[in-house]
Structure formats: structure tokens, C-alpha cells
Amino acid sequence: MKRENFGSRFGAIMAMTGSAVGLGNLWRFPYMVGVYGGAAFVLVYIIVVFLLCLPILNSEMITGRHGQTNAFGAFRKLAPGTGWKWAGVLMIFTPLVVLSYYSVIGGWSIEYLYKSVCFDFTAVSRTREDLDGIFSGYISSVWAPIAGHTVFLGATALIVVLGVRKGIENFGKVMMPLLFVLVILIAVRAATLPGAGEGFAYLFRPDFSKITPEVCAAALGQGFFSLSVGFGIMLTYASYMNKSDSIGKSSLLIATSDLLFALIASCAIMPAVFAFGLSPEAGPSLLFEVLPFIFSQMPAGGVIAILFFVALLVAALTSSVSILEVGVAWLVEEKHMSRKKASLVIFVGTWILGVICSLSFGPLSHIRIFGDIIFDFLDKFSSNVLMTVGALVIVLFVGWKMKKEDVRSEFTNGGTLRTEGRLFGIMYFIIRYAAPAAILVIMISNLI
């Protein structure tokens, strides 16, 4: 059976950008900015994205397109008969873990879109305590979050079932431009609020004393999560790229778009947080506790709430589709399942683990792993351990296992791309030496 590929360069970039742009930008990045010192975190994050995450992204794309197969098969094909197959196992395992709790948050976005459409935040006068109670009551209940998790994961599986072009590519081509427009509209509205300037200063006026090893580690972890590096997604998507596409230009567009979206999302959120005198350090609950209160106080807040949670749901779906595709591609190509059956198998596995994650806020909240509930443990474990190890593995593989000539050929399209040819030496040095060293330092700092 002939393997599917993306139909166009634009479609490939939109699909891959959709993978990168997701909850990591709208949910995770703003609260990480709040927790880790505002502009200091933003500055470190920008440096990390272009100096470390971009070469790692290139490494995944080079491996994927050169291997022309799924995340597990690529390592087996390019390093036959070696222990590198375990890198492929890691690349299959990590996305399944991430998707299990990611789809729970996706379910929350469905619930809050429904509440915003019903004008639950603005129809009556709401206090901050009211809205906090709505969120905590919802996530600690049993059936409603599981229902949202099921619907979200089901929608993801349906898109993947349609295939690479009809499902993944077409969905990305429509939804990514829509997503950018929605978030820009919200950011423009937030900028007009009295007192919004303080929020912009918090985002873009760094206090260099706040740059610590902990902030650097958090920025690197966020970069991995947001750019979808270190867990086989970009490797899988790159295997669907046309050989004529430039990996260097594509990866730069993806990284830049992802960064811009994160900054625009923060500009949509932080100015509003400061305009209403709230703390930016709310953490993971920022979107579901703080923002609904802001919407309840903001003129035309009901409409803005609808736009925001539509954007949140679209962002979540574009990323969840890519996460699910990693496991589906493996089952289709290695286990010879149909795409429909493979999607169902991955759906069931991640649904069960997702239910456990959801229940960890309620009936299973007494179960703690290293002091964290199951949901929080999986989030930290995947970001700080699985993705970090995955990123280290991929740069070691490209920098030390693959032939340098093969890496150069893939990056320069057989020597036909002059700009990429001039940049290859710098990129290869970072992949071979700088990136592994930086990742090891971050891993050690996470353990201290």
C-alpha cells in the first residue's frame, strides 16, 4: 500500500504548526510566564527556542524524512540491529502519556465553551469565589469531565481516521489561520483595557535577577512541550513531507509561528489580568478560574469569552491530532492495522489513562506520586523527563549515529539549497555538541 504524504508545503507547515500551537501556548505558556517571573522567562524562552529547540526540531525532521516511516520504524530502519530501537519505543510511549491528560484539558475547554455560549460567566454578577468554585466543582466531579474527555478524544480520533491529507492536512489548513485571527482579536481587545500597560511591562520588561537555573529548566521544558519535540510528533509528520521541501525553512517557520502565537496569547491574557488587579501567578488554573472572572467584568466579555474558548478548543485539537497520529502511524505500518482500527486502539488506551487522570482531581485525589496527584505527576514526568530524554536521544542519534553526509543531504536537499548549506555547519555543531550538553545540564538541574 502506497504511503500517504502531505499534498502541499503549505499544508505540511500548517499541520506541523498546528501540532506545535496548542494548549502549550494558550494554557501552559501564560501560566508559566506568571509562575517564573514574567519577562525574564519570556527572554530565556526565546533564546531556548532558537538556540536549542530549533536544532532539535531539525533533528527530528531529518530523522523522520530520511526514514520515511513511523517513529519506531525510523530508528529500526536507520540503525538496524542496534539498541536504538528503544529510542523508537520511547517516541511511541511518550505521546500516549501526554495525550491521556491533554485530552482531559481538551474536555475542560469544551465545557467552558459551552458555559461561555450560555453566558454563564456574564449573565449574572459573579464573584471570583463563585467562578473558582465552578471550576473546582467541575473538575472534581466524576462524570462531566469524563464526558468532555471522551468527546474531545473522539473528535481527535475521527480527524485522524480520515488520513494524512483529508484529515490532518485539511484540518490544519483551515483551523490554523482561524486560530491566529481569533487570538489576535482577543489580544487587541485586552490592549484597550485601562491598566493593560502594566501587563505588557510584565511580559516585555525583564528583571534579570529572576533568571535562575530553575527558570532555564522550565523554559526548556516548555519549549519541548510547545514545539512538540522529543516525543516523535515532528519525526512522524516529517516522514509525510515531500523531498523537495526545505527542512530548515519549514522548521524556522514552525518555531517562529509557535513563538509568535505564545506571545500573542500572553498579550491576550496578561494585560487583562493586570487590568483587573489579579495575580499572574495563578498557575494551571489561570485559564479556567482567573479569565472567566475577567470576562465577567469586561465590557462585551461574554462575546470575548466565546471567542477565547473557541480558540482554546481549536488549539487543543490541532495538537491532539498530531499526538494521536504518532501511535496510529506505528500500528498501521508496524502492526498492519487499518487506520480506523489503529485509531480505535489508541483511543481506548489513552481514554482509560485519561479517565484515571480526570478522577485524580476527585475520587482518586488521595493517590499521590512523589506528592503530586496523578494528573500533575504525568504532566511533570512527561515534560521534565520523557520529552527531555527524547530530545537528548534524537540529537545524539542525528549527531553521532547517522552519517554526516546523510544529515547534510537531508538538510540541504542533496546540496541544492545554498542557504541551508551555509548554515549546516553551525546547526550540526549545535546538534552534535551544544544541544546534548545543554539538555544534560537541564536534566541535572531538574534532579537537584
Mean pLDDT across 375-393: 89
Homologous superfamily of 9-447 = Amino acid/polyamine transporter I (1.20.1740.10)
Mean pLDDT across 35-40: 90
Beta pairing partners, 69: none
pLDDT given at position 29: 87
Residues with Cβ < 8 Å from 325, sequence gap 6 or more? Answer: 160, 168, 233, 236, 237
Least confident segment among 210-214, 342-346, 366-370 = 210-214
CA separation for the pair 252, 258 (Å, rounded):
10
Q: State percent of the chain over pLDDT 90.
A: 54
pLDDT given at position 78: 95
SS3 readout for the chain: CCCCCCCCHHHHHHHHHHHHCCHHHHHHHHHHHHHCCCHHHHHHHHHHHHHHHHHHHHHHHHHHHHHCCCHHHHHHHHCCCCCCHHHHHHHHHHHHHHHHHHHHHHHHHHHHHHHHHCCCCCCCCCCHHHHHHHHHHHHCCCHHHHHHHHHHHHHHHHHHHCCHHHHHHHHHHHHHHHHHHHHHHHHHHHHCCCCHHHHHHHHHCCCHHHCCHHHHHHHHHHHHHHHCCCCCHHHHHHCCCCCCCCHHHHHHHHHHHHHHHHHHHHHHHHHHHHHCCCCCCCHHHHHHHHHHHHHHHCCCHHHHHHHHHHHHHHHHHHHHHHHHHHHHHHHHHHCCCCHHHHHHHHHHHHHHHHHHHHHCCCCCCCCCECCECHHHHHHHHHHHHHHHHHHHHHHHHHHHHCCHHHHHHHHHCCCCCHHHHHHHHHHHHHHHHHHHHHHHHHHHHHHC
pLDDT given at position 59: 96
Distances (CA, A) of 244 to 41, 61, 327, 409, 423: 37, 14, 26, 12, 18
pLDDT per residue over 366-378, tens digit each?
999 999 999 999 9
Tell me what the pLDDT averaged over the chain comes to.
Answer: 89
| Residues in the chain, total | 448
**Can you give the pTM of this predicted structure?**
0.90
CA separation for the pair 282, 386 (Å, rounded):
26
Mean pLDDT across 317-345: 94
Scan for cell 474527555, then name that residue: 149
CA separation for the pair 247, 244 (Å, rounded):
9
Residues with Cβ < 8 Å from 130, sequence gap 6 or more? Answer: none
pLDDT given at position 284: 66
pLDDT per residue over 140-170, tens digit each?
999 999 999 999 999 999 999 988 888 888 8
Does the pLDDT of residue 4 top 80, yes or no? no
Residue 55: closest CA among 318, 404, 425: 425
Cβ contact 183:311 at 8 Å: yes
Cβ contact 29:203 at 8 Å: no
pLDDT given at position 259: 92
Does the pLDDT of residue 283 top 70, yes or no? no
Residue 263: closest CA among 344, 185, 200, 339: 200
pLDDT per residue over 286-300, tens digit each?
778 778 888 888 878
pLDDT per residue over 404-430, tens digit each?
999 999 999 999 999 999 999 999 999
pLDDT given at position 125: 65
CA separation for the pair 246, 417 (Å, rounded):
8
Cβ contact 60:53 at 8 Å: no
Does the pLDDT of residue 1 top 60, yes or no? no
Cβ contact 328:160 at 8 Å: yes
Which of 59 and 311 is assigned the larger pLDDT?
59
Mean pLDDT across 255-284: 85
Angle at 275 between CA 274 and CA 281, to 5 degrees: 20
Q: State percent of the chain over pLDDT 70.
A: 97
Confidence band, pLDDT 50/70/90 cuts, at residue 330: very high
